[in-house]
């Protein structure tokens, strides 16, 4: 009797990223495979493991570039472009697949997808493929020294939630200064850290939901989500020199918001980034 051959991951030496193949060896996606498989959860777990392995290899090969240690050569630019495309593709494919068979992303999924999102952003940065940060031109530069005031999440346009929001310091004089979640959690006094994390995640969910609005501009959506994701992920790294993401104690439920926001960002960018056009559907 012939042995049953399952779909498999194609991940060869020197290959950037990975892809799925059917039992017959034809290219496919996780989202397609889970529709006809008796154990879709096993396929999803395999996908995450392959993504984790791909990121370990990418960190080894491109760590200096991702960390801003040197400017990319023309070949580096091609490699970084391939890297962010493969990471984005893997994130969107996973999110669509688990949505199809009804699995809620757990902490492991959130950590791996979150790390992939951060690596994608770091790969796009030297390629000048990141849009403006929300409220970038409306905030003042802080003066040297300790700044007094209170942090708040400010929405770009409450009527158009897909434009996103960001943390801002409002000083006693009324000035508005840029603030990050990491600064709020680790460099500010009197912060309710759990409440700050909750407000940030809810802001992320609001943009993800608003992305489906018929008036939502995909570029605005992408910029808003990329910033909210980047700000959250930078505040949840496993150390200053690490891109690995860890969730705070009791915050494993944030994984679903991170995975959904990652997918919405890729879907939005696919409408204007030709390299991602294959993932529009």
Condensed to tens digits (0 to 9), the pLDDT of residues 111-148 reads: 999 999 999 999 999 999 999 999 988 888 876 665 67
Looking at the structure, tell me whether residues 105 and 169 fall in a common domain.
no
Predicted local confidence at residue 32, as pLDDT: 93
| C-alpha span between 101 and 35 (Å, rounded) | 8
Domain boundary among 71, 96, 127: 127
Looking at the structure, tell me whether residues 177 and 256 fall in a common domain.
yes
Q: Which helix (H) or strand (E) is 10 found in, with range?
A: strand 8-10
Predicted local confidence at residue 112, as pLDDT: 97
Predicted local confidence at residue 151, as pLDDT: 87
Which of 9, 34, 22, 20 has the alpha carbon at shortest distance from 98?
A: 34
- For residue 43, the enclosing domain spans 8-127
Tally of structural domains, the chain: 2
Whether 272 is in a domain gets the answer: yes
Could you tell me the CA-to-CA distances from 231 to 5, 70, 108, 179, 195 in Å, in that order? 43, 23, 20, 10, 16
From the number of C-beta atoms within 10 Å of its C-beta (0-12, 13-18, 19+), residue 75 rates as exposed
Whether 140 is in a domain gets the answer: no
Looking at the structure, tell me whether residues 86 and 190 fall in a common domain.
no
Whether 229 is in a domain gets the answer: yes
Quote the Cα angle for 146-149-154, to 5°: 120
Predicted local confidence at residue 167, as pLDDT: 96
Looking at the structure, tell me whether residues 80 and 201 fall in a common domain.
no
Token pair of 251 as six digits: 């915050």
Looking at the structure, tell me whether residues 85 and 154 fall in a common domain.
no
DSSP letter (8 states) at residue 57: H
| C-alpha span between 32 and 36 (Å, rounded) | 8
Cβ(155)–Cβ(161) under 8 Å?
A: yes
* Other CB atoms within 10 Å distance of the CB of residue 227: 24
Whether 102 is in a domain gets the answer: yes
Predicted local confidence at residue 173, as pLDDT: 81
Looking at the structure, tell me whether residues 38 and 70 fall in a common domain.
yes
Looking at the structure, tell me whether residues 13 and 118 fall in a common domain.
yes
Looking at the structure, tell me whether residues 34 and 66 fall in a common domain.
yes
Which residue in this structure is represented by tokens 């158009």? 160
| C-alpha span between 183 and 151 (Å, rounded) | 10
pLDDT reading at 189 higher than 70: yes
Whether 31 is in a domain gets the answer: yes
Looking at the structure, tell me whether residues 43 and 106 fall in a common domain.
yes
Token pair of 177 as six digits: 């200064």
Looking at the structure, tell me whether residues 65 and 31 fall in a common domain.
yes
Which of 186, 182, 173 has the alpha carbon at shortest distance from 147?
A: 173
Looking at the structure, tell me whether residues 167 and 274 fall in a common domain.
yes
pLDDT reading at 277 higher than 60: no
**DSSP string covering 156-194, please?**
S-TT-GGG-EEEEEEETTS-EEE--HHHHHHS-SS--HH
Whether 214 is in a domain gets the answer: yes
Whether 137 is in a domain gets the answer: no
Whether 1 is in a domain gets the answer: no
In degrees and rounded to multiples of 5, residue 9 shows phi and psi of: -90, 135
Looking at the structure, tell me whether residues 177 and 230 fall in a common domain.
yes
Which of 132, 110, 153 has the alpha carbon at shortest distance from 262?
A: 110
Q: What is the pLDDT of residues 16-65, one digit of tens each?
A: 999 999 988 899 999 999 988 889 999 999 999 999 999 999 999 999 99
Predicted local confidence at residue 281, as pLDDT: 44
């Amino acid at each position: 009797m012939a042995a049953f051959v399952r779909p498999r991951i194609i991940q060869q030496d020197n290959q950037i990223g990975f892809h799925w193949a059917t039992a017959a060896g034809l290219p496919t996606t996780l989202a397609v495979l889970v529709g006809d498989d008796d154990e879709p959860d096993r396929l999803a777990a395999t996908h995450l493991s392959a993504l984790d392995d791909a990121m370990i290899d990418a960190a080894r090969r491109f760590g200096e570039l991702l960390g801003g240690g040197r400017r990319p050569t023309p070949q580096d630019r091609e490699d970084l472009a391939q890297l962010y495309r493969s990471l984005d593709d893997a994130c969107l494919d996973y999110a669509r697949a688990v949505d199809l068979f009804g699995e809620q992303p757990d902490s492991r999924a959130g950590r791996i997808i979150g790390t992939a999102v951060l690596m994608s952003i770091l790969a796009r940065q030297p390629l000048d493929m990141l849009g403006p940060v929300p409220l970038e031109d409306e905030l003042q530069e802080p003066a040297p020294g300790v700044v007094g005031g209170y942090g708040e999440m400010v929405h770009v346009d409450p009527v158009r939630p897909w434009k996103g929001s960001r943390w801002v310091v409002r000083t006693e004089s009324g000035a508005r200064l840029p603030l990050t979640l990491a600064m709020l959690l680790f460099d500010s006094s009197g912060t309710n850290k759990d409440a700050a994390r909750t407000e940030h995640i809810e802001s992320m969910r609001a943009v993800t939901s608003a992305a489906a609005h018929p008036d939502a501009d995909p570029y605005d959506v992408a910029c808003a989500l990329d910033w909210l994701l980047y700000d959250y992920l930078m505040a949840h790294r496993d150390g200053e020199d690490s891109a690995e993401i860890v969730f705070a104690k009791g915050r494993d439920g944030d994984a679903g918001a991170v995975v959904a926001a990652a997918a919405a960002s890729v879907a939005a960018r696919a409408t204007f980034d030709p390299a991602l056009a294959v993932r529009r559907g």
